[in-house]
């Protein structure tokens, strides 16, 4: 039988500082009522002194401990992030040093909010091919340093955090059954952070023009997200010959509770089978799925042999899914 990859440990970490909707009411022209109704968010976490690799480190330690794997036993470290410590080197390389890992490779994946599932697909394929045995995959963001704290349409949405998984080679029936990656670059400007790259290198003008913060066409993105995710989840189940009623749990990217509910309704899934943490952490981009996964694992809401569906949508535009037999 061919190799498969299985998640053998999960971990997550969020910074201590809590920023509530009421705190935001004092900063911008918004209300707790608006944010709650339109997004489901009540509060989010904000990193103080910590960097993205610091968040990665804490989440990774917990995932490695849960898997019973030492940093030196990992063949590859992948960090999914769009808010890494610096453009170069990768945050994965900085994490490599902080973890005292040994001979593993290390690189970052950037597919914005779909990043964790893109990373999962890469890791799964390295293991399936037989090239690697153990991979540490982290989704981590310090979004709070890349939002305009005067723009009410974006600053209320995002939060900081990290989630990690250890993937190991297996030959059994359990593990990652399939991963699915998509994108449509025609809508790249729906969500972007235009400054700081080769198109607009940092200058006093790019700073003055606020080009180093997230810009989003929220309503347009919302409509594409709902439509796309509906098709994504039904296609993923169809490809695996699984009925929605056979799913034990959906772990969606946490951008907006209305989007999460729309996808659940499409599959006739009760919200008790849907992981939600957007109320507590806001949109943590590539960290949202691994944080939610770690929560449901630790709360024992999924058990051996359960079917679990992961799905995400984000800048690019990108979208992705994975079906797991736990």
Stretch of 30-38, 64-72, 100-108, 130-138 contacting ligand UT7, by CB under 6 A: 30-38
Beta strands in 158-316 (DSSP E): 160-170, 175-183, 191-192, 215-216, 247-252, 307-314
Q: Output 227 or 298, the one with its CB closest to ligand UT7.
A: 227
Interface pick for ligand UT7 out of 3, 34, 107, 182 (rule CB under 6 A): 34
Task: For the segment 266-285, give every residue that binds ligand UT7 (CB under 6 A).
Answer: 283
Interface pick for ligand UT7 out of 36, 125, 153, 206 (rule CB under 6 A): 153
Rounded Cα gap, residues 68 and 195, in angstroms: 41
Own/partner long-range contacts of 237-246 (Cβ < 8 Å, ≥24 apart): 237/267, 237/309, 237/323, 239/178, 239/180, 240/177, 240/178, 240/323, 242/307, 242/323, 244/268, 244/269, 246/307
- 300: its two tokens: 């024992």
Q: Output 37 or 209, the one with its CB closest to ligand UT7.
A: 37
Rounded Cα gap, residues 142 and 267, in angstroms: 32
Task: Confirm or reject binding of residue 314 to ligand UT7 (CB under 6 A).
Answer: yes
Residue in 317, 306, 75 with CA at minimum distance from that of residue 192: 317
How many residues belong to the site for ligand UT7 (CB under 6 A)?
21
Rounded Cα gap, residues 83 and 17, in angstroms: 18
Stretch of 34-42, 68-76, 82-90, 96-104 contacting ligand UT7, by CB under 6 A: 34-42
Between 50 and 89, how does the x/- string for binding to ligand UT7 read (CB under 6 A)?
----------------------------------------
Task: Confirm or reject binding of residue 98 to ligand UT7 (CB under 6 A).
Answer: no
Q: Output 222 or 307, the one with its CB closest to ligand UT7.
A: 222
Task: For the segment 239-268, give every residue that binds ligand UT7 (CB under 6 A).
Answer: 255-256, 259
Closest approach of Cβ 162 to ligand UT7, in Å? 16
Question: Using only C-alpha atoms, what is the Rg of the chain?
Answer: 19
Query: Which residues make up the interface to ligand UT7 (CB under 6 A)?
Result: 30, 34-35, 38-39, 113, 152-153, 156, 191, 218-219, 221-222, 225, 255-256, 259, 283, 313-314
């Amino acid at each position: 039988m061919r190799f498969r990859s299985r998640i053998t440990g999960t971990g997550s970490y969020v910074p201590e500082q809590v920023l509530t909707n009421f705190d935001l009411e004092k900063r911008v022209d918004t209300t707790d009522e608006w944010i709650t109704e339109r997004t489901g968010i009540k509060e989010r976490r904000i990193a103080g002194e910590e960097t993205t690799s610091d968040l990665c480190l804490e989440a990774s330690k917990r995932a490695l401990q849960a898997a019973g794997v030492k940093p030196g036993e990992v063949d590859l470290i992948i960090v999914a992030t769009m808010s890494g410590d610096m453009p170069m080197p990768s945050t994965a390389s900085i994490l490599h040093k902080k973890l005292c890992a040994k001979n593993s490779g290390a690189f970052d994946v950037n597919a914005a909010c779909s990043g964790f599932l893109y990373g999962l697909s890469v890791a799964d394929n390295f293991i399936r091919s037989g090239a690697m045995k153990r991979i540490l995959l982290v989704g981590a963001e310090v979004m709070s340093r890349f939002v305009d704290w005067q723009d009410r349409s974006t600053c209320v949405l995002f939060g900081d955090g990290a989630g990690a998984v250890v993937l190991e080679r297996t030959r059994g029936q359990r593990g990652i059954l399939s991963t699915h990656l998509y994108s449509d670059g025609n809508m790249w400007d729906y969500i972007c952070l235009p400054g700081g790259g080769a198109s607009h290198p940092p200058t006093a003008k790019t700073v003055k023009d606020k080009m180093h913060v997230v810009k989003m066409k929220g309503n347009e993105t919302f409509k594409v997200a709902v439509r796309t995710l509906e098709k994504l989840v039904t296609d993923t189940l169809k490809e695996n010959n699984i009925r929605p009623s056979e799913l034990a749990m959906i772990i969606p990217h946490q951008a907006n509770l209305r989007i999460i509910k729309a996808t659940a309704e499409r599959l006739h899934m009760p919200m008790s089978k849907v992981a939600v943490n957007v109320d507590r952490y806001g949109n943590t981009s590539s960290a949202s799925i691994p944080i939610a996964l770690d929560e449901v694992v630790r709360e024992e809401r999924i058990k051996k042999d359960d079917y679990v569906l992961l799905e995400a949508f984000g800048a690019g535009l990108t979208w992705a899914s994975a079906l797991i037999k736990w």
